[in-house]
């Protein structure tokens, strides 16, 4: 036997009212919904969509430019544009690096070479996210140590280095 459903109940089954505990769906015209649905879709593409969402608000990479060097006869270098040049900060980091170098046992001549290498300036130009000389000193110390180790163990034959045996 067939049960007959009254018209009002049948309409409720076809188009049920929204449940009060369910969140209201976002406006399909909103920018967030458009950004989410504009990316790849389908099985296994959620990571690609996430990567796209994370890069939407990212800062573009710094501009590059051609910078002449030397006497001008060579081709210019293609380098990133400098975001900050603070010579007083670079000098402060170099001064602190000199104190550190002498504490580590570098001779006065070696410390002078370290100052002329400009590791403080390198740290200042590279790490534009901080103006703290102590933080920049860490980067300068690491660079100075890496270059000193390379010079001592790979380049200076008088100190026992055998550059021909290096890989």
* Percentage of the chain exceeding pLDDT 70: 65
Which stretches of 57-118 are DSSP H helices? 87-103, 108-117
Per-residue pLDDT band for 159 (boundaries 50, 70, 90) equals confident
pLDDT of residue 47: 72
Q: In the predicted model, is pLDDT for residue 12 greater than 70?
A: no
To the nearest whole number, what is the mean pLDDT of the chain?
Answer: 79
Residue 145 has phi, psi (to 5 degrees) of -65, -40
Alpha-carbon distance values, 31 to 39, 47, 50, 86 (Å): 13, 20, 16, 41
Alpha helices (H) along 15-75 = 31-38, 46-56
Q: Is the pLDDT at 30 greater than 90, yes or no?
A: no
Distance set, CA 160 to CA 114, 152, 155, 163, 164 (Å): 21, 8, 9, 10, 12
Mean pLDDT is highest, among 33-47, 54-68, 72-86, 108-122, for 108-122
* Distance (Å, whole) CA 34 – CA 112: 59
User: Does position 36 have pLDDT exceeding 80, yes or no?
Assistant: no
Mean of pLDDT values over 19-37: 58
């Amino acid at each position: 036997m067939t049960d007959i459903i009254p018209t009002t109940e049948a309409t409720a089954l076809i188009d049920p009212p929204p449940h009060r505990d369910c969140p209201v769906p976002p406006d399909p015209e909103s920018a967030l919904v458009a950004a989410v649905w504009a990316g790849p879709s389908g099985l296994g593409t959620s990571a690609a969509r996430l990567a796209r969402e994370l890069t939407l608000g990212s800062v573009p990479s710094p501009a590059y430019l051609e910078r002449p060097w030397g006497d001008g006869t060579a081709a210019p270098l293609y380098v990133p544009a400098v975001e900050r040049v603070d010579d007083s900060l670079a000098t402060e980091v170099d001064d602190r690096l000199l104190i550190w170098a002498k504490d580590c046992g570098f001779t006065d001549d070696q410390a002078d070479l370290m100052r002329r290498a400009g590791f403080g300036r390198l740290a200042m130009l590279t790490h534009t996210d901080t103006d703290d000389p102590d933080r920049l000193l860490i980067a300068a110390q690491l660079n100075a140590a890496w270059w000193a180790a390379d010079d001592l163990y790979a380049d200076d034959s008088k100190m026992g280095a055998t550059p021909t045996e290096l890989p």
